[in-house]
Structures are given as C-alpha cells and as structure tokens.
Amino acid sequence: MLGPVRPAAKADAPDSGARTRSRRASVSVRVRILTAVLITTALGMIGAGIVSYVLARTATYDSIRNGLIQETEEIETVARVAGRGDAGRPIRGPNDLLYVAIKSSVPDPDQAIIGLINGRVTWVPDSDVGFQKTLAADEELIRAAAAIRLKDPVEVRTIATAEHDPIAFISVPLVMAGSTDLGHYVAAVDVRSALAPVRRTHLTYALICLLALAGVGLVGNQVAGRLLSPLRALRRTAQRITDTDLSDRIPADQLSSNDEVADLGRTMNAMLDRLSSSFDNQRQMLDDAGHELRTPITIVRGHLELVDASDPTDVIKTRDLALDELDRMQRLVEELMVLAKARQPDFLRIEPVEVSALLHSVLDKVSPIADRRWVLDASSDQVVALDPQRITQALVQLVANAVRYSAPGSVIALGGRVTGEQAAFWVRDEGLGVAVEDQSKIFQRFGRGSQRPAVATGDPGLSRGLGLGLSIVSAIAEAHHGQVQLDSLPGQGSTFTVVIPLRSPAPTGKPVLEDAWPPS
C-alpha cells in the first residue's frame, strides 16, 4: 500500500524561503550602514577598554608589589638603626624591633602591617582602622605569614581567605642573637580595594561609550539619511516614470552635495534627459515618417481606385505614377534607416584617405547630374582617417541640395582643406540661399526651408526632396565627432561645410583623424 502523501510540506519550503528573503530584503541600506558603523565603533571601544583595563590592572599590581617590597626595605632600615643603637630604645629581640618598626607606621586604608612573635599578633599600628583591623583577626593570613622561615625567599605572595579575597602580602622573618623568639614583619594589601579605582574608571568609560554609541547612532542616522536621500528620490522618480512620461527628475535640492551619491543622482538625471530626448526624437521621427508616407500611399490608392482598366493609356500612366511614389517611399525608408544606424558603433568604417583623391572622386560622380559649372575650390594631398563612403554620401547629398536650389550654368564648387586640428569639406553654390530663420530648421528631420527649388532636374529625387538629406549630412558629421556649418544669405548662394576634428599627426607628418569612431 502506498504511504500517505504530504504535499503541504513541500509547499511550505518555498514559502519559508520567500519569507526569509523578504525579511532580508526589508532591512534598509540605512539600517545596514548604521549597524556596520555601530558594530565597528563598539568593537573599537571594547578593544580600547580591554587594553586600557589590562594596562591599568598591571600597573596596579606593579604598584602593590613595589609597595610591599618597599616595606621590606623599611624593616631592614629599622634593623640597621637598631644595630647601631640609634632606635631610642634598647633592642633585645624581635619584639623590640617590631615595636620600633610598627608603632610609628601609618598604613594606607587598603594596607595593613602586623608584627608576629612566634605566630601570634603582637604589634599593630596605632591607626587601627578598616582593613588593618580586620586583617589582624584573619587567622588564615596569620598562619600563612607565620609559616615563612628564614630559608624561604622574601617575596610577594597572594592568598584568598574566608574573610578577604584576595590579599597580597609579604612576610619578613626576624631573629636576633640572644633571643629565642621568631618574629615576622607582615605587610599586606587588599587587592580588591586597590583595583577599585581601576574598576570605577572603566565603568565610567563603559557608560561614556554607551552614550557615545547613542550619539554616533543619532548622528549616523541623520548623515546616512542625508547621503541616501538622492537614492530614495531616484527610486521615487523611477517609480513615477512610465513609457509615455519621462519628464520626472530627481529634485535639485537632493543633489546639493558633492559626494558620489549626489553624482549618481546627477548622472541619472542626465541619462533621463538623454532618454527623453531620444524618445522624443523617435516619436517625432515616427510621426513625421507616418505623415510623409501617408501622402504617397493616399496618392497611389486614389489613382488605383480611379484607374480605367479598359484604357491602356490610363493604366500605363497610373502605373508610372505608382512606381514614382513607391520609389519615393523607398528612398524615404532608406534614408530613415541611415539616420537610425548613425548612432551605431559600426556606422563608420575608418581608413586613411587622401583629401585630394576623395574630392576628385566625388566630383567625377556628381558632374553628370546637372548642367552646372563644376569647380574644385581647394584641395590637399594630406591623409586623414575617416569613412570615405559616408563622407562621399554627405558631399553628394550637399551637391544634390545645391543643384536643387541653383540655376543651370551656375557654379557649384567642392573643396577640402586640413588646417590646425580639423579637416573641412565644403560644397558652395550660387543658388537661392537660405533665410536666417530657416538655417537651423533645415537640418531637422523632414525640415524644409521656405525657398522653392529653383528648377526641376531630370532626376526626380533632386527636384523633390524628402527633408532628410541635411539630417543625414549632420548625422554623418556627428558620427565623426564633427559638425556641419552653413554660410548663406538669401539670393547670394550657400556654402555647407563638414568640419571634422583631427587627432594627432601621422607618422608621415600628415594629420590623421581618430582611428575608430566613436572612440572607446
């Protein structure tokens, strides 16, 4: 028989893991920063306190040891004085010696001095207070002190008794010729009392550390909140942004500092500006492209609906018109594809090109287009690095524009020059020129000036522009990190110049452009 199946146990595991992940995710960055700061600070304070306590405790033990050893030196001094007969009283045995040494002593509150004769307490200082009084009654200490013999080394010893815990003491045995008594000079220190100032100091240190940690926590909370405010603003901004609205930005008052987090916020605002501009450009391009494509589609549809299928002449005329409109739509799509590819890394294919050879090649291609007087203004035998096909495409487009707006027999000139840190290629005509108010508009997608073409040419593409030609020229120049300049006045012709920055001299001494575009 099959055993019982318990699917609920399997279902619980993912839920438990999800709850664990949720708890981990719920800990904010501010809390993690504060926790790390407080733990690090606390560990530093604890380490400093432990080291300080150990050093202070060691210093206290050294002080106790030195004090007890000093007591042995005092009893030796008294013994020497007594031996010379300067004690002020006859010294006939250890009892007299202990009397002279002890009765004038004034021990500290945590110290005690006792004189033993044959293991019994005989002399104590007159200031019989505190530790001195209780120690004289401690039988365990008395037995331990009386057990020291002459052959034993005089050293500091420690004992813990039922009444005192612990005690550091030193016991000096005393004997004199002519006396059978065995005396002991005992000096003791209450270690707990001696260490009390150290403990109080470090308890005070611990309280100060707790207050300091609280202060660090409050200040750290404020500082972390201020530092992380751009991130919170970034999160709120990202939550508000949609695919149809990219206008939200991180407020400027959140980016007033000069740290890395504020730099991140400013970088995100700049990125959003670029994205918004890119989306706006794409939306505008799609709207304009839809508008431009709608016209030929409407024309073709209208003529096809009205064509007389029984009339061969009408059929041929309608077919020719439809093919012409389809050619125009094909050119529009191709030029839109060029503009779309202009920002891709593989848009350019850079190679060394001689300026003179490039200009003569373009001139040979465009001279049969129309009845114009073709002129080469200037040239150069210097070599630059660029994409010859794209520069040719730009110059041919400028020539087509010049043909469209100039009269037959007028001059159209090409030229190129390498000067300083840039190379320039231009097309000059004697046509209608461009009005000042139109000079920025004509470089926009589907932008057209107010001037009508001067004459119709045999090439339908030249006599009827799509409004994308100068946009393509500008995109090619920008892909080379350059720009297009226009010098024109109505009725006085136009000069369009493609300016491309140079990088550094080639090994042959001739300037070259960037080896790769865009640079990495």
Express each pLDDT in 374-417 by its tens digit. Answer: 999 988 899 999 999 889 989 988 998 899 889 999 999 999 99
Quote the pLDDT of residue 423. Answer: 93
Rounded mean pLDDT of 465-480?
A: 80
To which H or E segment does residue 403 belong? helix 388-404
Instruction: Give residue 461's pLDDT band: very low, low, confident or very high (50, 70, 90).
Output: very low
- Tens digit of each residue's pLDDT (9 = 90 or more) over 307-329: 888 888 888 988 888 888 888 77
CB atoms within 10 A of CB 391: 26
Question: At residue 298, does pLDDT exceed 90?
Answer: no
Quote the pLDDT of residue 98. Answer: 86
Instruction: Give residue 457's pLDDT band: very low, low, confident or very high (50, 70, 90).
Output: very low
Quote the pLDDT of residue 236. Answer: 79
Rounded mean pLDDT of 235-260?
A: 73
Q: Where in the chain is the domain with CATH 3.30.450?
A: 88-194
Tokens of 276: 């918004």
Question: At residue 252, does pLDDT exceed 80?
Answer: no
- Tens digit of each residue's pLDDT (9 = 90 or more) over 494-520: 999 999 998 644 333 333 333 333 333
Instruction: Give residue 95's pLDDT band: very low, low, confident or very high (50, 70, 90).
Output: confident
Quote the pLDDT of residue 213. Answer: 93
Q: Where in the chain is the domain with CATH 3.30.565.10?
A: 346-512
- Tens digit of each residue's pLDDT (9 = 90 or more) over 109-160: 788 888 999 989 888 887 666 677 788 888 898 999 999 998 888 889 998 8
CB 136 within 8 A of CB 121: yes
* Domain range 346-512, CATH architecture: 2-Layer Sandwich (3.30)
Q: What percent of the chain has pLDDT over 70?
A: 81
Rounded mean pLDDT of 39-52?
A: 94
CA 385/CA 502 separation, integer angstroms: 9
Question: At residue 469, does pLDDT exceed 90?
Answer: no
CB-facing half-sphere around the CA of 131: CA atoms within 13 A: 23
CA 212/CA 207 separation, integer angstroms: 9
Rounded mean pLDDT of 180-195?
A: 90
DSSP string, 337-365: HHHHHTTSGGG---EEEEHHHHHHHHHHH
CA 478/CA 343 separation, integer angstroms: 9
Domain 88-194 falls in which CATH fold? Beta-Lactamase (3.30.450)
Quote the pLDDT of residue 331. Answer: 73
Question: Higher pLDDT residue, 186 or 258?
Answer: 186
CATH assignment of 260-338, among 1.10.287, 2.30.29, 3.10.290, 1.10.1660: 1.10.287
Quote the pLDDT of residue 449. Answer: 58
Using the CB atoms, write b or e for 487-510: b if 16+ within 10 Å.
ebeeeebbbbbbebebeeebeeeb
Question: Higher pLDDT residue, 61 or 246?
Answer: 61
CA 486/CA 171 separation, integer angstroms: 110
Q: What is the mean pLDDT of the chain?
A: 79
- Tens digit of each residue's pLDDT (9 = 90 or more) over 406-452: 999 999 999 999 988 899 999 999 988 888 877 777 777 666 655 65
Cis omega (within 30 of 0) for bond into 125: no
- Tens digit of each residue's pLDDT (9 = 90 or more) over 334-369: 777 777 676 677 788 889 999 999 999 999 988 888
Instruction: Give residue 467's pLDDT band: very low, low, confident or very high (50, 70, 90).
Output: low
